[in-house]
């Protein structure tokens, strides 16, 4: 190669790379625009948010933008994030199982959600069905739904379960980090829960059946592996994991194994990816090794997206959604996903990886809407075919 040829090739190379950079910048801007447009059009649903605690205990007003940096959720930022439906966690801490007052704690939290809807009728509306979510989205408002986190909230009473349904609760996480009187829990981080029932007890199975009959989604986040499989065996409707990620990428008991993802897919259910650093950091708890004592305190957006992609690959595009856990993880969230206003980044990142607009809409909300509608339909059918409320007591549950 002579001098001139080399210069010419160098010139060509620089020219091309400049052109390529400009081109890719333009493409990226286009992609962001497409992502934002799609995100605004789609119904975006998050199935787990713990802002309910400050709403209930500290008089936190959802209508006011929080500038303290302490919380990740408020109505102004929900709107920026294009969020259309939020499941507020009716979180009942394990201590109430010991000290009593679990059902009342749930009632206080439920009242906390209704109070925000009362205060902000122009932005927020209570919803109890998949059709409500579509209608409220059309009206340009955010649908407020509720999920009980911790089955001890029903105090072993199917009557209490029915009344929670009547108040609008549409899913129940069968356990929190504590094993309750009828279901084993996966425990806390490095704090395994007592395994007392080998999964669900007979009464636990009756709880699942009664939830099916009512049309309340069964949530398998937080439960032990044995409980998960007992639920899959027992339920007659699709189930959800309201805030869990993939164990194949981050090896913690709160995440789902590939077999579980496949079972959830077969059950027509949905896994809602949790954003918590401790559940998504792929460097921190590698498969086959126990999780280090200290949870990961950082993670990247790329790691979060890997969890979406893995769940989609294993369970299928129809079985993955968003279960942020905002305001439930002490702010330990990946860079770029610091609060609810950042949700459009999910859409952008997944489009960038080649997902279609239709696929994105599924992940953003349509999958959950489908599951919710199927759960409603299963309940309608069960009731139409004469299924009566169960009055089983915990010590005399019917054998399955």
Applying CB under 8 A, which residues contact another protein? 59, 111, 115, 118
Whole-angstrom distance, CA of residue 75 vs CA of residue 256: 31
Please report how close the Cβ of residue 59 comes to another protein at its closest, in angstroms. 7
184 with 198: CB under 8 angstroms? Answer: yes
**Adjacent-strand bridge partners of 219:** 173, 240
325 is catalytic: yes
Segments in 197-340 forming alpha helices (H): 202-214, 225-234, 258-266, 277-280, 301-315
Comparison of 61 and 338: residue with beta carbon closer to another protein:
61
Q: Write out the DSSP string of 82-139.
A: T--EEEEEEE--THHHHHS-HHHHHHHHHHHHHHHHHH-TTTEEE--SHHHHHHHHHT
243 is catalytic: yes
CA distances from residue 185 to 191, 216, 261, 322, 373 in whole angstroms, order as listed? 11, 20, 18, 22, 27
Going by C-alpha positions, the residue among 186, 190, 146, 130 that lies closest to residue 50 is 146
- Active-site residue among 149, 184, 206, 327? 149
**Adjacent-strand bridge partners of 206:** none
Whole-angstrom distance, CA of residue 238 vs CA of residue 135: 23
The secondary structure element, H or E, covering residue 172 is strand 169-173
Please report how close the Cβ of residue 111 comes to another protein at its closest, in angstroms. 8
Whole-angstrom distance, CA of residue 222 vs CA of residue 177: 6
- Active-site residue among 152, 222, 310, 319? 222
143 with 132: CB under 8 angstroms? Answer: yes
Q: What is the DSSP letter of 193?
A: P
Please report how close the Cβ of residue 166 comes to another protein at its closest, in angstroms. 17
Comparison of 61 and 125: residue with beta carbon closer to another protein:
61
Comparison of 111 and 302: residue with beta carbon closer to another protein:
111
222 is catalytic: yes
220 with 240: CB under 8 angstroms? Answer: yes
Please report how close the Cβ of residue 58 comes to another protein at its closest, in angstroms. 11
Comparison of 138 and 166: residue with beta carbon closer to another protein:
166
Comparison of 60 and 276: residue with beta carbon closer to another protein:
60
Comparison of 121 and 288: residue with beta carbon closer to another protein:
121
Please report how close the Cβ of residue 114 comes to another protein at its closest, in angstroms. 9
182 with 200: CB under 8 angstroms? Answer: yes
Please report how close the Cβ of residue 113 comes to another protein at its closest, in angstroms. 12
State the catalytic residues: 48, 50, 149, 176, 222, 243, 325
């Amino acid at each position: 190669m002579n001098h001139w040829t080399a210069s010419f090739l160098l010139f060509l190379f620089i020219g091309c790379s400049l052109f390529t950079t400009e081109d890719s910048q333009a493409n990226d801007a286009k992609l962001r625009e497409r992502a934002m447009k799609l995100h605004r059009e789609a119904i975006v649903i998050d199935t787990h948010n713990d802002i309910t605690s400050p709403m209930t205990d500290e008089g936190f007003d959802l209508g006011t933008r929080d500038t303290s940096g302490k919380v990740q959720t408020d109505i102004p930022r929900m709107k920026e994030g294009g969020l259309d439906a939020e499941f507020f966690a009716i979180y009942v801490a394990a201590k109430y199982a010991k000290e009593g007052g679990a059902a009342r704690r749930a009632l206080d939290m439920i009242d906390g959600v209704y109070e925000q809807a009362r205060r902000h009728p122009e932005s927020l509306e209570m919803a109890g069905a998949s059709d409500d979510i579509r209608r409220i989205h059309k009206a340009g408002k955010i649908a407020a739904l509720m999920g009980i986190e911790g089955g001890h909230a029903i105090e072993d009473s199917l009557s209490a379960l029915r009344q929670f349904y009547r108040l609008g609760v549409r899913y129940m996480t069968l356990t929190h980090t504590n094993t309750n009187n009828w279901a084993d829990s996966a425990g806390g981080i490095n704090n395994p829960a007592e395994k007392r029932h080998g999964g669900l007890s007979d009464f636990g199975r009756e709880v699942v059946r009664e939830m099916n009959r009512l049309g309340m989604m069964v949530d398998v986040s937080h439960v032990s592996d044995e409980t998960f499989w007992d639920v899959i065996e027992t339920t007659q409707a699709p189930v959800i994991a309201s805030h869990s990620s993939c164990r194949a990428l981050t090896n913690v008991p709160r995440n789902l194994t590939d077999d579980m993802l496949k079972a959830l897919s077969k059950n027509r259910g949905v896994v809602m990816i949790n954003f918590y650093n401790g559940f998504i950091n792929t460097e921190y708890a590698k498969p086959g090794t126990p999780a280090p004592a200290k949870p990961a305190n950082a993670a990247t957006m790329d790691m979060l997206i890997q969890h979406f992609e893995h769940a989609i690959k294993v369970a299928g595009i129809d079985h993955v959604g968003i279960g942020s856990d905002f305001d439930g993880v002490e702010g330990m969230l990946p860079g770029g996903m610091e609060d609810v206003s950042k949700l459009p980044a999910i859409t952008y990142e997944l489009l960038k990886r080649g997902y279609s607009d239709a696929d994105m809409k599924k992940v953003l909300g349509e999958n959950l809407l489908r599951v919710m509608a199927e759960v409603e339909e299963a309940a309608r059918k069960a009731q139409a075919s004469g299924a009566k409320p169960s009055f089983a007591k915990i010590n005399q549950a019917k054998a399955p």
